[in-house]
Structure 1
C-alpha cells in the first residue's frame, strides 16, 4: 500500500464529506461519542455498498486499509487543484 501525501488530512475530509453523504442517504448521523474507528468502518461499508469504493479482500479489512481507501476515495472527489492534493 503506497502512502498518499496528506493522507491524514484527506481522511479527515473524507469523514466530513462521508458523514454528509450518509445523512443524505437517510442515516441518522453519528453522535459525538462515536469513535473515529466506528465512523471509518461505517463510512467504508456504506461506500462499498453503494459501489463507490472497491471493496477490500476479507483478510485485508483493517482500520489502516479502510482509512487508506477513504483517503483515496476523497482524493478522487476533490478538484485537481485542491490544496490537499498538492
Structure 2
C-alpha cells in the first residue's frame, strides 16, 4: 500500500497485523496532514469517510496521467 510505504519512509514503524483499517487510515491521514501534503479536515469533520476521501484524492494526484485507474 502506498500510504503504508509513505509512513515507513517517514520513520513510522510498520503496521502490525492486528491494526485495524480505521487505525491505519487515521495514522496515514495524520502523517500526510502533519507533513502538509494534504489539507487537514476541520476539527469537527474528522470522520473515517472524510479521511479516506482525502487519502484517495492524494493517491489520485500521485498516479501518472495515463494510469488505468484514472480512466
- TM-score, reference length from structure 1: 0.80
Please list every run of at least 4 consecutive aligned residues from structure 1 whose deviation after the TM superposition is greater than 3 angstroms: none
Q: CA shift at 1:83, angstroms?
A: 1.1
Question: Secondary structure of the residue that 1:28 maps to in structure 2?
Answer: coil
Alignment correspondent of 2:31 = 46
Q: How far 1:18 moved relative to its partner?
A: 1.0
1:1-86 map, 5 Å = 16-86=1-71
Which structure 1 segments of 5+ residues have no match? 1-15
Per-residue deviation, residues 1-49 of structure 1 (Å, max 9, x unmatched):
xxxxxxxxxxxxxxx1111111111111101111100000000000000
Q: Which runs of 5+ in 2 are unaligned?
A: none
Count of residue correspondences: 71
Matched residues in 1 for 2:18 and 2:6: separation? 19
RMSD in angstroms over aligned alpha carbons?
0.6
